[in-house]
Amino acid sequence: MFRVKAQYYEFASPEKMGLHHDIPTITFRGAFGYALAQVIARDGCIPGLKSQVQLYRRIFMPENDGTKESRNRDLARPFVLRGFYSRPDRRSFLLQILLFGIAADYGAFFDRVVEVMSYMGMGNKRRICHFEKLNSVEYDIPELTPSEDLEVSFLTPCAKLKQNKKLYEDRVPFHVLMPRLIDRLLELDNLYGDGSFQEKWDTIGMKQKSRQVESRVECGGVFRAKRTSGRTGQEMFLSGFVGKMHYQGDFLPFLEPLRYLPFVNIGRFNVFGCGWCVIRFLDNSLQQKGEL
């Protein structure tokens, strides 16, 4: 079983938090990366922690040295950040950090990083925040009971979602969704799990069969967004599909990877809180009654 653990924190500020207007979790991911580097640098100065710092770098800041099977220089990170405002006046934010594989054993390390984030300052005005750890839970990933109709609601944009060099921003066809999900899960499991997905799954067969599933946009379309780092000035384009997709077909070959879709996200900026989605299989009786 590929491990998935969630840690929940709430950030609070006496004033409105100056987070990204469209995707507030993006601001937290920027601060998280900076705080992560600070914690690793501090530990590197402590005698006897050299091997531990090397471990942190390998797990949380991995780069492809040419020995890993990945198309990207930066390898998949074993975490995803997502969340939402917990007050209507936007003075508090509930942050969830999802940890995958061996990263689930480093909850205390993430607590330290989050603490550094809080007093380092958040948003465009670097507001110092109070933070509180609310909970920590390791998920028992549920089995799925399929029907012939699957609905996936994409809550945040699937930024830079590509298949065969073609960019998909206005929709997420199933023959794009499934290959990207499979590739992401294989990389995460090979880097941080036990590699059993590679052994168990007929990945080529699943990718080919995904073309047999019909896809249509239920609602939504292209969501335009970008982010400029306040520390580096780097501009990041985050446009992608936001809305609801309806898929119809035989989903039995895809149930195992689909179980993990709501947790790992898809798209180039999944660790930034993009690609966050909710899935559900529809009851055929509801469709017949016209109650979709």
For the CA atoms of the chain, what is the radius of gyration?
A: 20
* Whether residue 35 has pLDDT greater than 70: yes
Whole-number percent of the chain with pLDDT over 70? 84
Closest by CA to 80, choosing from 63, 64, 95, is 95
Q: How far is CA 282 from each of CA 123, 249, 290, rounded to the nearest angstrom?
A: 40, 12, 12
Closest by CA to 56, choosing from 76, 36, 80, is 36
Mean pLDDT of 256-268: 94
| Residue 10 tokens, joined | 């709430």
pLDDT of residue 59: 65
Mean pLDDT of 248-268: 95
- Highest mean pLDDT among 3-7, 57-61, 109-113 belongs to 3-7
Residue 222: how many CA atoms within 13 Å on its side-chain side?
A: 10
Residue 45's contacts (CB-CB under 8 Å, 6 or more residues apart) are none
| Type of residue found at 185 | L
CA 109, 66, 34, 242: dihedral to nearest 10 degrees?
-100
Q: Kind of pairing, strands 277-281 and 149-154?
A: antiparallel
pLDDT tens figures, 124-174: 677 788 999 999 999 999 899 999 999 999 999 998 898 888 999 999 999
CATH number corresponding to 149-288: 3.30.70.1900
pTM of the predicted structure, to 2 decimals: 0.86
Closest by CA to 26, choosing from 157, 127, 134, 137, is 157
DSSP character at residue 213: S
Phi and psi torsions of 43, nearest 5°: -65, -30
* Whether residue 234 has pLDDT greater than 80: no
Q: Is 152 left (phi over 0), alpha (psi -120 to 50) or beta?
A: beta
| Angle formed at CA 15 by CA 25 and CA 123, multiple of 5 degrees | 35
Indicate the average pLDDT of the chain: 86
20 vs 193: which has the higher pLDDT: 193
Q: Which of 35-44, 187-196, 262-271 has the lowest mean pLDDT?
A: 35-44
Helix and strand tally (H, E) in the chain?
8, 12
| Residue 249 tokens, joined | 């077909």
* Whether residue 287 has pLDDT greater than 50: no
pLDDT tens figures, 66-101: 555 555 567 888 999 999 989 888 889 999 999 999
Domain 4-138 indexed as CATH 3.40.190: no
* Whether residue 123 has pLDDT greater than 80: no
pLDDT of residue 28: 87
Residues of the chain with CATH 3.30.70.1900: 149-288
pLDDT band for position 106 (cuts 50, 70, 90): confident
pLDDT tens figures, 10-19: 999 888 887 8
pLDDT band for position 42 (cuts 50, 70, 90): confident
